[in-house]
Amino acid sequence: MSIEGPRPVRPDELPELGTLLNRTFRPDMTGDMADEFPVLLNAENAGNLIIIRDNERILSHAGMLLRQGMFEGVGLKLALVGSVATAEEARGRGYATTVMNALLDRAACLGTHLAWISGGRGLYTSRGAAAVGCFRQFTVPAGREEKDLDLRELREEDLPAMAALHRREPVRLFRTMDDLRATFRTRWIMNGPGHFWGIWRNDCLAAYLAVREPRGAGKPATLVEFAGDRSVAAASAPAVASRMNVQALLVDVASEDSSAHRAFGAVADSSEPAFTHGTMMMLRMADCMDALRPRIAECVGQEFAASLRFSESGVGPGVPEGRTDRLRIERGTEWVEVLERAEATRLLFGGEGSPDLPAHEGSAALLKALRPALPLPAPWYGLDYC
């Protein structure tokens, strides 16, 4: 028996890949991954779907979508990593490690700054992925509709207005109209069936809510993405819960979104801390920090930003030893090294309960000088989950 790979899947192998993914993630044989994730699992994206196979079948897979993200004016390239699966009979042979290494290497070679992984197991954290971001999850009970707001489910002709609201968000991933349309047609939202709600005020779309259905009887629904006027979105959340016949909506809000915190806090009956979904990993640490120079100049000063030098050392994220990689920051004779890839990722995005400074050697003062610029607000998957 010969083993092929790791290599990109061929378009003619996509049905076979779908079989592996369905057996792994849909063991009850309800639903189809190819139908639910058409933006990820298609021939145009085949180069980013890495497999290992033998003569008979695909044994293991890791896939990604490459996207541009915007973080309060900072543009970064992301690999959205998901659908990592190994056939049950082939587990324990290191195939998942091999396809993940190949995928991360490909992403890094393509100039990608970050890998955002839809999971948090050791396969990812051993390579430097970390839970990041500071969010708060609000529980909004079902309630009445607001009289001056027109709440109804979105139709396909409403997508341009919906996309316009999304483009105005300060933290977002760039999303083509083709991708939005494909996701809208599936009605599959963050790994579950869902609904797209629009709220009109004075005949204009003021906000939208993408809501995943409850995962079980008596469970709340989950608001996985919203955009537009925060007060309108929050005021309509109780009515959406009522329309969906659930007792409550769960709403995750970034700590930086103060207006959403106020608006959803006013209609919620409880809240608790939360992280962003999945884990994040810096791939090209020095390049990622270099992309922050305009933000550092804006927050700290032009001369300070121009004087910084960024470099990295270690073996890279594609092997478990990547956790020992270091990010080095220099300014003149002053230097500091952030000791692990996960620590560098938390420096970039922060996290609930993270220490004041990441584990480091050298000048703590240099890290503290970056505080006005860091952390960046972390993203939330929403409709971009894969």
- In the chain, what are the domain boundaries? 4-112, 135-274, 283-369
Mean pLDDT to the nearest integer, 69-87: 97
Q: pLDDT tens digits, residue range 207-226?
A: 999 999 999 889 999 999 99
Predicted confidence band at 164 (pLDDT cuts at 50, 70, 90)? very high
Q: Given a cut of 90, is residue 275 above it in pLDDT?
A: no
Task: Determine contact, residues 143/236, Cβ cutoff 8 Å.
Answer: no
Nearest Cα to 133, choosing from 347, 299, 339, 317? 347
Q: Hey, what are 90's tokens?
A: 């082939």
| pLDDT value, residue 323 | 47
* Residue pLDDT, tens place only, 144-156: 988 899 999 999 9
Angle between helices 258-267 and 230-243 (to 10 degrees): 40
- The verdict on whether omega for the bond into residue 358 sits within 30 degrees of 0, i.e. cis, is no
Region 179-199: what's the mean pLDDT? 96
Least confident of 27-41, 59-73, 175-189: 27-41
What 3 state SS string does 92-157 have? CCCHHHHHHHHHHHHHHHCCCCEEEECCCCHHHHCCCCECCECEEEEEEECCCCCCCCEEEECCHH
The CATH fold of domain 135-274:
Aminopeptidase (3.40.630)
Closest CA to 69 of 197, 200, 171: 171
The percentage of residues in the chain with a pLDDT greater than 70, rounded to a whole number, is 96
Which pLDDT belongs to residue 317? 65
Lookup: tokens for 36? 């639910």
157: burial class by Cβ within 10 Å (0-12, 13-18, 19+)?
exposed
Q: Which residue has the higher pLDDT, 306 or 126?
A: 306
Q: Do domains 4-112 and 135-274 have the same CATH topology?
A: yes
pLDDT of 322 over the 50 cut: no
Whether the per-residue pLDDT at 354 is higher than 80: the answer is no
Contact 67, 82 (CB under 8 A): no
Tokens at 166, concatenated: 């999304």
Tokens of 162: 């919906």
Backbone angles phi and psi of 269, in degrees to 5: -105, -5
What pLDDT is attached to residue 315? Answer: 63
Q: Is pLDDT above 90 for 264?
A: yes
| Six token digits for residue 234 | 């929050």
The confidence score (pLDDT) of residue 172 equals 97
For residues 299 and 236, what is the distance between their CA atoms, to the nearest angstrom? Answer: 36
> How many residues are listed for the chain in this entry?
386
Q: Contact, 62 vs 103, CB < 8 A?
A: yes
What confidence tier does 277 reach under pLDDT thresholds 50, 70, 90? confident
| Token duo for residue 48 | 């980013």
Q: What is the pTM of this model?
A: 0.93
Is the pLDDT higher at 275 or at 187? Answer: 187
CATH entry 3.40.630.30 includes domain 4-112: yes
